[in-house]
Amino acid sequence: MENDKRIAVLIDADNVSDKYIKYIFDEISNHGTPTYKRIYADWTKPQLSSWKAVLLDYSISPIQQYSYTTGKNATDAALIIDAMDILYSHNVDGFCIVSSDSDFTRLASRLREAGMYVVGMGEKKTPSPFIAACEKFKYLEVLAEIPESATETTAKKAAGSKEIEKESMANIKEITKFIQKIINDISNEDGWAHLGEVGNRLAKRYPDFDARNYGHSKLSQLIASLNQFELQRQKPDLNFILVRNKPAAKPAAKPAAKHAAKPAARTAKKAKEV
């Protein structure tokens, strides 16, 4: 199972704020169990002092890396070396790389080549190549803005979805078309497809896909809001959901009476003339 995976969590403190730590580990629990928990920075920098309490609360091991020269990021190199050491230890099933830096693109690709499950986390400014290199990618702003109340209004959700839009993020029209294509590809004779499989294929096509990116906490809620699909819950397990494309509306038939009246009128006119 996905949540049984042993995951090494490696955090680039130069590119991540300590305010996101709670949301990072809450999200990791949905993917597996964090075994290695390491964070990399030059801890002699005074601006990183706010991390001290966070590291203690979450039992994260700080890795000290001095900046040897200006313009070179030694912290990134230290994280990459550690990641490869952990890979060859064969003690984990996956990695979570927390950074908004494209320098980790090749690392993510290499880990996936080795069969590792790779989750990336970063801010909206994260370059597209790093996002694409990960199996899944989560935006930290989105994780931090998850609504605590299930009664959040539709208007508020719509406003929230605009706030988190990102240039590389697929827009809702593109997502809708791809969902329709997936359903056509995998549906049964009645047009129904398993919602879980639809979600899996979406994630493979768009590593950063998450219903929360579009203002909804679940995929079923997002799909229901699009008004292009029908959902059906299966008993006795109501969490087992089927989805299908709504059939295209048939064009309304033209009224026959109007057309039939014209020949009759012409016949009456000819009879009068005779």
Q: Per-residue pLDDT tens for 211-254?
A: 888 888 889 999 999 888 999 887 777 678 899 998 876 666 66
Q: What is the pLDDT of residue 266?
A: 56
Nearest in space to 10 (alpha carbons), one of 112, 92, 83: 83
pLDDT band at 267, cuts 50/70/90?
low
Q: Per-residue pLDDT tens for 164-206?
A: 455 567 788 888 998 999 999 998 988 899 998 998 888 888 8
Nearest in space to 96 (alpha carbons), one of 81, 106, 111: 111
CB neighbours of 5 closer than 8 A, spacing ≥ 6? 31, 32, 33, 93, 94, 117
* Domain segments of the chain as ranges: 1-144, 166-250
Strand order across the 193-194 sheet:
193-194, 241-245, 229-233
CA distances from 61 to 54, 56, 118 (A): 11, 9, 20
The helix/strand/coil state of 109 is helix
Q: Per-residue pLDDT tens for 21-39?
A: 999 999 999 899 999 999 9
pLDDT band at 18, cuts 50/70/90?
very high
Strand segments, DSSP code E, in the chain are 5-12, 32-41, 61-64, 94-98, 117-122, 136-139, 193-194, 229-233, 241-245
Asked if residue 212 lies in contact with residue 198, where contact means CB atoms within 8 angstroms, the answer is: no
* Average of per-residue pLDDT across 119-133: 93
0.75 exceeded by pTM = no
Phi first, then psi, for residue 110 (nearest 5°) are -65, -40
CATH fold of 166-250 reads Nucleotidyltransferase; domain 5 (3.30.420)
Res. 258: pLDDT tops 60:
no
Asked if the domains at 1-144 and 166-250 fall in one CATH topology, the answer is no
Q: What is the pLDDT of residue 250?
A: 65
pLDDT band at 74, cuts 50/70/90?
confident
Res. 69: pLDDT tops 70:
no
The per-residue pLDDT of the chain, averaged, comes to 82
* Average of per-residue pLDDT across 131-144: 93
What span, in angstroms and rounded, lies between the C-alpha atoms of 139 and 206? 13
Q: How many CB atoms lie within 10 A of CB 226?
A: 15
Beta strands at 5-12 and 94-98: parallel, antiparallel or unpaired: parallel
Q: How many CB atoms lie within 10 A of CB 134?
A: 26
> How many CA atoms lie within 13 Å of 29's alpha carbon, on the beta-carbon side?
6
Q: For the ranges 5-9, 49-53, 163-167, which has the lowest average pLDDT? A: 163-167
CATH fold of 1-144 reads Rossmann fold (3.40.50)
The residue with greater pLDDT, 110 or 162, is: 110
Q: What is the pLDDT of residue 97?
A: 97
Nearest in space to 103 (alpha carbons), one of 79, 87, 124: 79
What span, in angstroms and rounded, lies between the C-alpha atoms of 131 and 126? 7
Q: What is the pLDDT of residue 262?
A: 55
What span, in angstroms and rounded, lies between the C-alpha atoms of 179 and 193? 11
Res. 151: pLDDT tops 70:
no
Question: Which DSSP letter does residue 176 get?
Answer: H
Q: What is the pLDDT of residue 154?
A: 42
CA distances from 18 to 14, 57, 78, 145, 149 (A): 10, 12, 20, 15, 24
